[in-house]
Amino acid sequence: MPLLTLITNVKLEDAQVRPFVSEFSKKASEVIGKPEAEFSVDFTYNPYLTFGGTFEPAIRLHVMSLWNTNAENSVKWSKAFSEFFTEKLGVPNNRGHMSFIDPGDAFIGFKGTSVAALVAASK
């Protein structure tokens, strides 16, 4: 159940937002290696986002993914997302931070319970 939050100060035209978010969701599924149907993607334009004290194009990405977040994947994911943001938003790879965390299945809610409880009930 990957949860992605992308914040950027790069302004997209209204007609570009949905296609970009859809493309980002598909890319995230490919990069993280889980079905897109499991993804929740939040995109926020924030003109006040700074990086390094400037308002030049920047991003901040938060990724929560159960059971596959590790040091090796953090490097792989960072590279793939950096390339995507450079290509699609014009944000250089030195203009943002990305966090990749696995909070544990007991700390992700779904269907009125936790993922851990759902997994336990399915056994």
How many Cβ atoms sit within 10 Å of the Cβ of residue 25?
A: 17
Q: What is the mean pLDDT of residues 73-95?
A: 98
Q: What is the mean pLDDT of residues 82-97?
A: 98
Residue 39: predicted pLDDT: 96
Asked if residues 12 and 20 have their Cβ atoms less than 8 Å apart, the reply is yes
- Spatial distance between the Cα atoms of 74 and 61, rounded to a whole number of angstroms: 12
- Spatial distance between the Cα atoms of 53 and 65, rounded to a whole number of angstroms: 30
Give the DSSP H or E segment for 113: strand 113-114
- Spatial distance between the Cα atoms of 1 and 97, rounded to a whole number of angstroms: 21
pLDDT, one tens digit per residue, over 3-58 is 999 999 999 999 999 999 999 999 999 999 999 999 999 999 999 999 999 999 99
Q: Which amino acid is at 90?
A: G
- Spatial distance between the Cα atoms of 98 and 119, rounded to a whole number of angstroms: 28
pLDDT, one tens digit per residue, over 99-123 is 999 999 999 999 999 999 999 999 9
Residue 71: predicted pLDDT: 98
Residue 50: predicted pLDDT: 98
Residue 21: predicted pLDDT: 98
CA distances from 90 to 75, 86, 104 (A): 21, 4, 34
